Structures are given as C-alpha cells and as structure tokens.
Amino acid sequence: MFDSLKEKLSGFRKDVEETTEEKAEEAEEVEEAEEAEAETSEPVEEETETEASESEADREPESETEGTNNGGGFAQKAKSFARGEIVIEEQDVEDPLWELEMALLESDVEMSVAEEMLKGIRSDLVGATRKFSAETEDVVEQALRDSLLSVISVGQFDFDQRVEEADKPLVIIFTGVNGVGKTTSIAKLSRYLEAHGHSSVMANGDTYRAGANEQIEVHADSLGKKLIKHEQGGDPAAVIYDAVEYADAHDIDVVLGDTAGRLHTSEGLMDQLAKIDRVVDPDMTLFVDEAVAGQDAVQRAKEFNNAAEIDGSILTKADADSKGGAAISISHVTGKPILFLGTGQGYDDIERFDPETLVERLLGDEDE
C-alpha cells in the first residue's frame, strides 16, 4: 500500500542526509586544518598590559561593525561550529525539496497540499542544528512526520465513540459516483459494526439504477441483515425514512443508506440528497471513492463537500494504490476526515483510517 510514495519520501530523506553529511565532513576538515595550523604556529610575543589594552580599544569599533553587517546568521553558525554542530541552511534543502515536490505531484498529491507540506518541512529544517557526528535522518524524519500529520489529521474524530454515544438509530448516508464501491462499503461497514457490538439495517436509496436492489440484496443476504427497499423509480427519501422507522421499532442501532451514484453537477440527483437531508436528517454523510483514482477522487470529494456537505470519506481499493495521493490530500482539501480504507474484496477487508498508522507506513523501514 502506497509503496511508490513511501519510496519517494525515503529518497528525500536520503538526499538531505547526504547533503548535510557532506557539509559536516567539510566542517570537520576545516576544524582539523585550523587545529593543525594552530599547533605549528610560532608563539606570539606577549604584549604589555598597556599595548593589549590599546589594541582592544582599537578593535572594538571594527567588531561592532562586523556584527552588524553579518547579522545573527553568522553568529549562529559560529556558535554552532564552536559546539561541534552545523546549521542546516536553505541551500542545503532547496534541491531535495524541489525533487520532493515533483515526487508528491507525481503521486497525485493535490498541489495546495504539496505546497503546505513543503512549507512545513522547510520551516522545520532550515536553521536546525545537528552534531557533526549525529545522523541527519532523525531530524528530516521528524520534519516529514510533522508535515504529513498536519495535512492528513484534519477533522479527525473517533468513529467508534461517535456511534457508541449517539442516539439510536444512528443514520449514515453513503454518496459518491457510480462504480467506486459504495454498496460494498456499506456491507463491509455493516460487518464492522457487528464486530463492535452494533446492529444495523441496510436501505437501498438507489432507486434510479436498474439492478441496484439485487446488488445490495446479495450483500444483505450474505450478512444476514435486513434490507429495506422500494421498487425502481421510487422516492429515495421514503426508502431511508422507512428504514429509520424499522430500526426504531426493532431496536436496531444503525441505518446504512445507499444512494444513487451521481456527479456533483447532477442537479436532479443532488436534489434527492437535499430531500433526504430534510426528511431523514442523517447523522453522517460519507463520501466514497477509490484511492486509485488519485487527483480525480480528491477533486470529487471537494466538489461533493461543496454541493452537499459530507462528514467524512471512505477510500476503497487502498490496497491497490501505490501512489497514496488521495489518502494524503482528501482530508486537507475538504476539511473532513478519511474514516475508513477498503483493503480487499472480503467483508472484513476494511480498516479504520489512522493518521499515525499511515505515517508509520510511509516513513517506516518495514515492508507493509
């Protein structure tokens, strides 16, 4: 999962490490040369107290001027060098940052998200100090970790806790374009909820597409779940309303409502969502798309959120996505969290999205 992006982040880390290691070696060589020169120098004749005093007085104005002209940057580098450290400067990371920007864009990371990451990394690295003998990898890894978390942790909330604490039945509506795995995600989430002690009922609000009832019915039968459905062409809001009534009457915890695949520009279908909002007032609306869709998934999430506000996202086919751009970008672009990743074809192949876990996957040494 996300192997290509992981490789590119590792490449950036190595590039910065090599650059600063070279700088450290040069600094050590200069230090050794100065020490050798000091050892071979002729002893300087001692000045009289008066001469030394006069000499210091003559030098004072020049020192003040020097400090003013060079500013704090020179002073910081001098102090760091005296402590056996180097300062990471802008020019040390500029080329690796440019390479990283290209790599992020090639991995379908949305441009504004890539820029935000680079800004954070630059801020953390430039001016940072490290010992000549220390590894730069830790400094760079922490900068990468911080920047990744800042863009993928937006809006995160504890899904399990929200379900646990909500008034029942909790109503969750699923939306997105056709063919991205909405119906399968509903089935997987039904199994997930059952494993966490919550009952659920499915509702087929996709009354637009021929065969939609049959498709979700296969999943309901396989999982032993009740399905509420109407005939093709019926009112989607009425179907989900009936499911809520059924859940209320039978003490079922969660209603999982499917809707017709749509584009944000499908005026009639977007009106259906608005009607569902009015009639049912769902507790959550989840956007579903494929992780492998990359930039397309990011832009669709943004457009759906603008047209009919979502509460979070589910990314399907995450196991087949080597780039990782959608997983990095969607939360930052929409301001709403990714809640689940689909990781296979089975009903159990769904996992809670955890920003810390994703960062470990991207920066860790182990093969996932």
CATH number at residue 115: 1.20.120.140
Vertex 78 angle, CA 77 and 84, to 5°: 85
| Burial of 118: CB neighbours in 10 Å, binned 0-12, 13-18, 19+ | middle
State the Cα–Cα distance between residues 16 and 92, nearest whole angstrom. 7
Q: What is the pTM of this model?
A: 0.77
Question: Where in the sequence is the domain holding 332, given as residue range(s)?
Answer: 159-354
Residues 321 and 186 in one domain: yes
Q: 221: part of which helix (H) or strand (E)?
A: helix 212-223
Among 276-280, 287-291, 337-341, whose mean pLDDT is lowest? 276-280
Residues 211 and 240 in one domain: yes
**For position 364, what pLDDT does the model report?**
76
- What does the buried/exposed string (b/e) look like for 186-202 if buried means 16 or more CB atoms within 10 Å of the residue's CB? bbbbbbbbbeeebbbbb
CATH number at residue 245: 3.40.50.300
In a domain, 321, yes or no: yes
In a domain, 333, yes or no: yes
Residues 65 and 187 in one domain: no
In a domain, 178, yes or no: yes
pLDDT, tens digit (0-9, with 9 covering 90-100), for 5-17: 788 888 887 877 7
State the Cα–Cα distance between residues 365 and 368, nearest whole angstrom. 9
In a domain, 8, yes or no: yes
For residue 81, what is the DSSP state?
H
State the Cα–Cα distance between residues 326 and 331, nearest whole angstrom. 9
State the Cα–Cα distance between residues 322 and 37, nearest whole angstrom. 55
**For position 92, what pLDDT does the model report?**
74
Identify the CA nearest to 167 among candidates 314, 309, 281, 338: 281
For residue 350, what is the DSSP state?
E
Count: domains in the chain: 2
Residues 112 and 251 in one domain: no
Residues 32 and 142 in one domain: yes
pLDDT greater than 60 at residue 77: no
In a domain, 84, yes or no: yes
For residue 277, what is the DSSP state?
H
The structure tokens listed for 125 are: 């690295």
Residues 133 and 166 in one domain: no
State the Cα–Cα distance between residues 316 and 182, nearest whole angstrom. 9
Q: Which of 92, 119, 152 is the last residue of a domain?
A: 152
Q: What is the mean pLDDT of the chain?
A: 80
Determine the 3-state secondary structure of 200 from DSSP: strand
pLDDT greater than 50 at residue 356: yes
For residue 289, what is the DSSP state?
E
Mean pLDDT of 18-22: 70
Residues 210 and 71 in one domain: no
Residues 334 and 310 in one domain: yes
pLDDT greater than 60 at residue 62: no
State the Cα–Cα distance between residues 88 and 128, nearest whole angstrom. 5
Residues 348 and 203 in one domain: yes
pLDDT, tens digit (0-9, with 9 covering 90-100), for 242-280: 999 999 999 999 999 998 877 766 777 777 888 888 888
Beta bridge partners of 87: 129
Residues 77 and 129 in one domain: yes
Sign of CA dihedral 65, 68, 69, 72: positive
In a domain, 237, yes or no: yes
Q: Which of 152, 186, 212 is the last residue of a domain?
A: 152
- What does the buried/exposed string (b/e) look like for 88-100 if buried means 16 or more CB atoms within 10 Å of the residue's CB? bbeebbeebbeeb
Q: Which of 89, 117, 152 is the last residue of a domain?
A: 152
Residues 188 and 285 in one domain: yes
Edge-to-edge, what's the strand order for the sheet holding 312-316? Answer: 227-228, 200-205, 254-259, 170-175, 284-290, 312-316, 338-342, 350-352
In a domain, 359, yes or no: no
Residues 176 and 124 in one domain: no
In a domain, 367, yes or no: no
Torsion region of 2: left, alpha or beta (phi above 0 gives left; psi -120 to 50 gives alpha): left
- Chain centre to alpha carbon of residue 119: 15
